[in-house]
């Protein structure tokens, strides 16, 4: 594949050619010039011609004014340099586009607007604006965007079947469909089933990581593992998919803080304290409380992750653990694959209060496609997925909302219209249909997560 030209803002055109070798070392990469999200989007324009969950009652965590004030105070003290977002509100029509038809009046945030660091604001401000002649056509708009999926379970199939990354007829994700869907950045889940491997969790995680690296290394012209934000920029600029690894559940850490460093060196770049069972780090959203939030060890893990430059993922953890993460972390946190409770009442989804606090922290939520958690039925469709996106954008703005499909981890049929990774352009079309501006669509497709990656993935 021919390399993409790296466009530097205010600098000359630089060419980065040749097929890059997959990096197994996590040492700092060779310095590369900074390429903004807008720059990557501009480069793309030139090339455009099963997750079982035990049901549980929703946690009963105090959300009174005093509690909210304490959490917000902790968030503010941990981020003294944060500044209000430039978005006037979460309403898609704030930028001049008509609001989604037939939807409730957007919640006005009044004194509560999404906050972000100065660097984050700069990244969002650098997002491309629509052409003066009007909105881009859908194909060009999607091709311009840096499309990010923060959670796929494809490694489950790679390790437990004979599935290969280049051809995955059993599931929803492979290299061809990622390309067809315009996906540029994808997080492969390092998931160890605690009911099956609890005593062997670390060795099983090692096996999954080794398998991911082998599968990626077999296709150096199409995909490369990334370990930092500059890696992501470079790989996407070369026209390849940037693959990263995120650990779903803290079981592989055991009780050793040193294992955080160990898995960081192996290439893991986000970690969620729990899956659907409690761990030594804290409580899951799917079981009765044990730790009443994060454990002491869990808080130490969050602090170590902050120092290393590893993203904290709040998906799957209990409400109390969520608040503990926000009070403990000094960096933006993400929800790699979650939904919105105002659309579908479920313990795995985020309440409006949680979503606001996540945005205050500078974080982003990746909306998943798992039918039982986004709909009241075991079947769903594209429109329902976008309902969750829409609710989140109305509340906190497009710069805090993204995509985390959970493909290849669905134990129910995928949403109609989003059957596999090749269908991502359908989200672009649905957002346009609902009145979103080009800039907002590109933020949802990936710009919101790229902002967080730039700040945390050093």
pLDDT at 71: 53
The string of DSSP codes covering 45-56 is HHT---------
With cut-offs at 50, 70 and 90, classify the pLDDT of residue 15.
very low
Query: Can you give the pLDDT at residue 95?
Result: 37
Kindly state the percentage of the chain with pLDDT values over 70.
Answer: 71
pLDDT at 314 over 60: yes
Higher-pLDDT residue of 126, 329: 329
pLDDT at 87 over 50: no
pLDDT at 116 exceeding the cut of 50? no
What burial letters (b/e) apply to 259-282, b meaning 16+ CB within 10 Å? Answer: bbebbbebbbbbbbbbbbbbbbbb
Can you tell me the distance from the alpha carbon of 158 to that of 149, in angstroms, rounded to the nearest whole number? 18
Average pLDDT, stretch 229-249? 99
> 134 or 49: whose pLDDT is higher?
134
More confident residue, 67 or 196: 196
Q: Of 344, 441, 363, whose CA–CA distance to 139 is shortest?
A: 441
Q: What is the pLDDT of residue 93?
A: 40
- Report whether pLDDT(130) > 60: no
pLDDT computed for residue 57 by the predictor:
38
**Mean local confidence (pLDDT), 255-284:** 98
Distance from the Cα of residue 2 to its chain's centroid: 28
Report pLDDT digits (tens) over 142-200. 999 999 999 999 999 999 998 999 999 989 999 999 999 999 999 999 999 999 997 89
Q: Higher-confidence residue: 366 or 51?
A: 366
Q: How confident is the model at residue 110 (pLDDT cuts 50, 70, 90)?
A: very low
The pLDDT, as a whole number, for residue 73 is 64
Residue-level pLDDT at 162:
84
Domains annotated for the chain, with CATH where assigned, are 79-116+144-456 (3.20.20.140)
Residue 105, pLDDT above cutoff 90:
no
Per-residue confidence (pLDDT) for residue 417, from 0 to 100: 99
Kindly report the pTM of this predicted structure: 0.77
| CA proximity to 34, closest of 177, 233, 291 | 233
Contacts of 132 (CB under 8 A, 6+ apart): none
């Amino acid at each position: 594949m021919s390399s993409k030209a790296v466009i530097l803002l205010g600098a000359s055109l630089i060419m980065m050619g040749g097929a890059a070798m997959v990096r197994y070392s996590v040492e700092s990469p060779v310095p590369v010039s900074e390429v903004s999200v807008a720059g990557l989007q501009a480069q793309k324009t030139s090339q455009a011609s099963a997750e079982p969950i035990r049901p549980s009652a929703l946690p009963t965590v105090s959300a009174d004014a005093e509690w909210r004030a304490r959490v917000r105070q902790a968030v503010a003290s941990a981020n003294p340099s944060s500044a209000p977002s430039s978005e006037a509100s979460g309403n898609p029509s704030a930028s001049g586009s008509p609001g989604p038809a037939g939807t409730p009046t957007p919640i006005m945030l009044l004194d509560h607007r999404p906050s972000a660091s100065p660097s984050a604001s700069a990244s969002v401000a650098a997002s491309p604006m629509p052409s003066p002649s009007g909105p881009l056509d859908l194909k060009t708009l999607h091709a311009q965007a840096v499309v990010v999926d923060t959670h796929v379970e494809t490694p489950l199939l790679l390790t437990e079947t004979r599935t290969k990354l280049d051809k995955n007829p059993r599931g929803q994700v492979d290299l061809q469909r990622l390309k067809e869907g315009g996906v540029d950045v994808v997080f492969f889940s390092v998931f160890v089933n605690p009911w099956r491997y609890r005593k062997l969790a670390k060795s099983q995680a090692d096996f999954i990581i080794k398998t991911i690296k082998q599968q990626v290394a077999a296709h150096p012209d199409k995909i490369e593992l990334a370990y930092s934000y500059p890696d992501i920029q470079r790989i996407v600029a070369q026209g390849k998919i940037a693959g990263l690894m995120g650990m779903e559940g803290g079981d592989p850490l055991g009780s050793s803080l040193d294992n955080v460093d160990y898995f960081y060196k192996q290439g893991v770049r986000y970690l969620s304290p729990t899956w659907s069972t409690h761990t030594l780090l804290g409580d899951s959203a799917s079981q009765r409380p044990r730790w009443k939030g994060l454990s002491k060890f869990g808080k130490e893990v969050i602090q170590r992750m902050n120092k290393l430059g590893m993203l904290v993922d709040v998906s799957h953890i209990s409400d109390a653990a969520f608040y503990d993460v926000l009070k403990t972390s000094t960096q933006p946190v993400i929800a790699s694959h979650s939904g919105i409770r105002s659309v579908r009442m479920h313990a795995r989804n985020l309440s409006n209060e949680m979503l606001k606090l996540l945005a205050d922290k500078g974080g982003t939520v990746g909306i998943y496609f798992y039918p039982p958690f986004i709909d009241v039925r075991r079947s769903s469709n594209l429109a329902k997925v976008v309902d969750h996106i829409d609710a989140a954008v109305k509340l906190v703005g497009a710069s805090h909302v993204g995509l985390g499909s959970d493909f290849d981890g669905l134990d129910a049929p995928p949403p109609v219209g989003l059957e596999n990774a090749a269908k991502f352009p359908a989200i672009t079309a649905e957002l346009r249909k609902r009145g979103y501006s080009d800039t907002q669509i590109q933020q949802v497709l990936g710009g919101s997560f790229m902002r967080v990656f730039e700040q945390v993935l050093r």
